[in-house]
Amino acid sequence: MNTKLKRRLRRIIAAIALFVAVMALDETGALRAVFGDTRGLYAAFALYLVPYLIAGYDVLIKAWRTVRRGDAFDENFLMAVATIGAFAMVAFPDSDPHMAEGAAVMLFYQVGELFQSYAVGKSRASIAAMMDIAPDRATVERDGRLVTIDPDDAVVGDILVIKPGERVALDGVVVQGTSRLDTAALTGESMPRSVEAGSDVVSGCINMTGVLRVRVAKPYGESTVSRILELVENASERKARTENFITSFARVYTPIVTFAALAIALVPPALGFGAWSDWILRGLTFLVVSCPCALVISVPLSFFGGIGGASRQGILVKGSNYLEALSRVDTVVFDKTGTLTSGTFGVVDIRPRDGIDGGRLLAAAAHAEAFSDHPIATSVKRAYLDEAADGAKRAIDQARIESAAEESGRGVKAVVDGHEILAGSDRLMSAHGIVCPDCQQAGTILHVAIDGAYAGYIVIADTVKDDAAQTIADLHAAGVKRCVMLTGDREKTARATALELGLDEYRAQLLPGDKVTQVERLLESARGALAFVGDGINDTPVLTRADVGIAMGAIGSDAAIEAADIVLMDDKPSAIVRAIRIARTTMRIVHQNIVFAIGAKAAILVLAALGIANMWLAVFGDVGVAVIAILNAMRALNCGAADKRP
Ligand code: ADP
Ligand code: MG
């Protein structure tokens, strides 16, 4: 608990103690014995005023401010009017005094408020704690010596020295050492990842076994950890429709109940039904009950909890609105390469045209792909580097590349050693007027042309991810009606993958622009929300077009983190099922709270209007409903934790 909360707690405890003392004096009749009947009443009035003001002076000030600003009434206003009214009942000497209730209402209201602040603070803190992924120190090598610096001061090219047990502070590339990295804080997945010289390491992981020397690749502000923290911190700004509804509801509701209370207090006695003091008291009780705090606080708190619970599992949600949309998803559209199929697959065959050497073909393709992040590019480059089985150390010599440009969704065009090289799909070839054979082989085909002449093709095994089929089955079981795959790959490969995974539909031979058109068409026919899942390579336009754009394998891919609404830290499709479950649990909690809070309030309101509920019941009702709703909201923080798959 922070000091501000502690101070408030002390203030409230002091007020409660005073209140109890005053009440003891009052109820035992001690005051009346000392001061006499009438003066005793005023003495009690003055005494009750003390704990009341200690507990509630800030509420009164806030209420006064809203009135002066001419804003719509808020809960401070409701509380101020109700409690001042209760004290003012002293002006009706023929009725029982109600100062005790007035002070008690304020006290309980403040207890409730304190509890809320504590709950909000706690869920913030727990998100921050589980997102405790940013180390505040980094060790770098400078002039042969090790110095400890603030990660913010490290520059690209610095050599980080990371000992076992330490957390990686900045994104970089291993230059020396082998180790295993624990990525659990980022992905919620406890499988350690082995790294060696040349491997990328991502900030936020824990180095487990060996000392690593890592060359910093990105300044701290652009490293994975700071992007994640930024994203989670900003999440509460994007409000869900339910949240906005509650805010506008409170804005309309509060004035309505205020006027209703006024009507209850004034109309019946003016018409001659019963005593003024009776009805005024009913009006005041009505005001206390009607305070919408339970609703106003518990709904955002539930969303906050859901977002926190999700980030615990490596699912970063950029706003409550996306959680809400995700819970309604009935169509999930997948990108193929890198999403359903493994991002790093092997080259299985190299088929040069007669007269061309296979090694040259691979070298040309690898150099042309040097600057591409596409999974195909990664595979070709790896195959080229691994070819060096003869012992010779191979590297891609960037000096040989004069220019390179990606033709999104088709392939690349580059000039290497003065030769123009095209590497990509058959569509890339036909776009450049090159005739290529119609391959019957299974797998993804990378055609290569050198200086305008067809040079052969490379076959890449396109293996589906381990959990892809299970994911589709789980999605269907969770009520998702359509699972659709969109791919730029060939019809033949697409059909095979779709069949293997049990997808409902697929569309092949799509350029990134076509994927947008397809998603728009699917959006028209979808009844619920549509989620698109991609790896952020070639599919950012689609990510932004879908109701919910989900990017996976975000470790390292900046474009994906930017464009997506939900970011899955690892590249396992099964996280989508988990995300949907968390979203649904969160929405269920939100709806429970709305129904419960409104229902309980309505019941007590009716009782208050009928004069059955007194102010004591009203206060307990109000605080009780708020506390229960908040406790329920806190459950959202843990949702998803239980159903985590091994
Ligand atoms: P998917 O829709 O399956 O994720 P993409 O839209 O990324 O695939 O790419 C579609 C097709 O375009 C690939 O199957 C491949 O043939 C070709 N292609 C795209 N980018 C590249 C690249 N960098 N190198 C080679 N081929 C590429
Ligand atoms: Mg792709």
Tell me how far the alpha carbon of residue 489 lies from the centroid of ligand 1, in angstroms. Answer: 6
**457 or 626: which carries more pLDDT confidence?**
457
What band does 128 get if pLDDT is binned at 50, 70 and 90?
low
**182 or 55: which carries more pLDDT confidence?**
55
Q: How far is CA 290 from the centre of its chain?
A: 32
Strand order in the sheet with 329-335: 315-317, 566-568, 548-552, 529-534, 329-335, 482-486, 505-507
Identify the nearest ligand to the CA of 462 by its number.
1
Q: Best substitution site from 339, 372, 374 to test ligand 1's pocket, by max atoms within 8 Å of Cβ?
A: 374
Closest CA to 232 of 312, 301, 296, 151: 312
Enter the pTM of the model: 0.77
**Residue 484 pLDDT:** 96
Among protein residues, the one with the nearest Cα to ligand 1's atom 13 is 489
pLDDT 10s digits, 301-331? 888 888 888 887 888 888 889 999 999 999 9
Contacts of 56 (CB under 8 A, 6+ apart): 79, 80, 83, 106, 107, 109, 110
The beta-strand segments (E) located in 198-243 are 200-201, 206-207, 212-216
Among protein residues, the one with the nearest Cα to ligand 1's atom 2 is 487
Residue 427's identity, in one-letter code, is R
The beta-strand segments (E) located in 494-555 are 505-507, 529-534, 548-552
**Residue 32 pLDDT:** 79
- Cβ atoms within 10 A of the Cβ of 150, count? 11
Q: Which 3 state secondary structure label does DSSP give 546? A: coil
- Which of 585-617 are b and which e, b meaning 16 or more Cβ less than 10 Å from the residue's Cβ? bbbebbebbbebbbebbeebbebbbebebebeb
**Residue 504 pLDDT:** 95
- Three-class secondary structure assignment of 399-451: HHEEEEEEECCCEEEEEECCEEEEEECHHHHHHCCCCCCCCCCCCEEEEEEEC
Tell me how far the alpha carbon of residue 536 lies from the centroid of ligand 2, in angstroms. Answer: 7
Per the listing, tokens 């003024």 go with: 276
Closest CA to 15 of 109, 90, 119: 109
Among protein residues, the one with the nearest Cα to ligand 1's atom 11 is 488
What number of helices (H) and strands (E) belong to the chain?
21, 22
Q: Which range has the top average pLDDT, 200-204, 478-482, 638-642?
A: 478-482
Tell me how far the alpha carbon of residue 462 lies from the centroid of ligand 1, in angstroms. Answer: 12
**Residue 646 pLDDT:** 36
Residues forming the active site: 335
Q: Which 3 state secondary structure label does DSSP give 453? A: strand
Among protein residues, the one with the nearest Cα to ligand 1's atom 4 is 337
What band does 397 get if pLDDT is binned at 50, 70 and 90?
confident
Percent of all residues in the chain with a pLDDT value above 70, rounded to a whole number: 91
The atom number, within ligand 1, closest to the CA of 406 reads 23
Q: Best substitution site from 344, 410, 429, 491 to test ligand 1's pocket, by max atoms within 8 Å of Cβ?
A: 410
**Residue 393 pLDDT:** 57
Q: Which 3 state secondary structure label does DSSP give 278? A: helix
Are the C-beta atoms of residues 411 and 428 closer than 8 Å to each other?
A: yes
Are the C-beta atoms of residues 353 and 434 closer than 8 Å to each other?
A: no
pLDDT 10s digits, 1-51? 677 888 889 999 999 999 999 988 888 888 878 888 778 888 888 999 999
- Stretch 552-564: mean pLDDT: 71
**Residue 4 pLDDT:** 80
d(CA 414, CA 492): 28
pLDDT 10s digits, 287-299? 877 777 777 778 8
Q: Is the pLDDT of residue 344 over 50?
A: yes
**Residue 577 pLDDT:** 94
d(CA 102, CA 90): 11
**Residue 388 pLDDT:** 59
What band does 74 get if pLDDT is binned at 50, 70 and 90?
confident
What band does 188 get if pLDDT is binned at 50, 70 and 90?
low
Contacts of 99 (CB under 8 A, 6+ apart): 44, 45, 48, 49, 52, 86, 87, 89, 90
Tell me how far the alpha carbon of residue 547 lies from the centroid of ligand 1, in angstroms. Answer: 24
Among protein residues, the one with the nearest Cα to ligand 1's atom 24 is 411
Are the C-beta atoms of residues 483 and 336 closer than 8 Å to each other?
A: no
CB burial of residue 621 (10 Å; 0-12, 13-18, 19+): buried
276-290 vs 75-88: helix axis angle to the nearest 10? 150
Q: Is the pLDDT of residue 616 over 50?
A: yes
Are the C-beta atoms of residues 106 and 201 closer than 8 Å to each other?
A: no
**Residue 90 pLDDT:** 80
Q: Which range has the top average pLDDT, 282-286, 303-307, 428-432?
A: 428-432
Which of 251-255, 270-274, 397-401, 592-596 is predicted with the least confidence, judged by mean pLDDT?
Answer: 251-255
d(CA 312, CA 515): 32
Which of 108-112, 157-161, 213-217, 548-552 is predicted with the least confidence, judged by mean pLDDT?
Answer: 108-112
* Pocket lined around ligand 1, Cβ cut-off 6 Å: 335-338, 369, 372, 374, 376-377, 406, 409-412, 423-425, 444, 446, 487-489, 537-538
**Residue 389 pLDDT:** 54
What band does 420 get if pLDDT is binned at 50, 70 and 90?
very high
**Residue 450 pLDDT:** 94
d(CA 615, CA 619): 6
Tell me how far the alpha carbon of residue 459 lies from the centroid of ligand 2, in angstroms. Answer: 17
Among protein residues, the one with the nearest Cα to ligand 1's atom 8 is 488
- Tokens standing for 255? 């004035």
**Residue 483 pLDDT:** 96
Q: Report every protein residue that has its C-beta within 5 angstroms of ion ligand 2.
A: 335, 337-338
- Stretch 351-365: mean pLDDT: 90
The atom number, within ligand 1, closest to the CA of 534 reads 4
Q: Is the pLDDT of residue 502 over 90?
A: yes
When the pLDDT of each residue in the chain is averaged and rounded to a whole number, the result is 85
The atom number, within ligand 1, closest to the CA of 535 reads 4
**187 or 183: which carries more pLDDT confidence?**
183
Identify the nearest ligand to the CA of 486 by its number.
1
Contacts of 497 (CB under 8 A, 6+ apart): 336, 340, 341, 462, 464, 485, 487, 503, 506
pLDDT 10s digits, 247-279? 787 778 878 888 888 898 899 988 988 888 888
Contacts of 460 (CB under 8 A, 6+ apart): 345, 346, 347, 348, 376, 379, 380, 443, 444, 445, 446
Strand order in the sheet with 347-352: 347-352, 453-460, 444-450, 419-424, 411-416, 401-407
Tell me how far the alpha carbon of residue 572 lies from the centroid of ligand 2, in angstroms. Answer: 14
- Tokens standing for 19? 């209140």
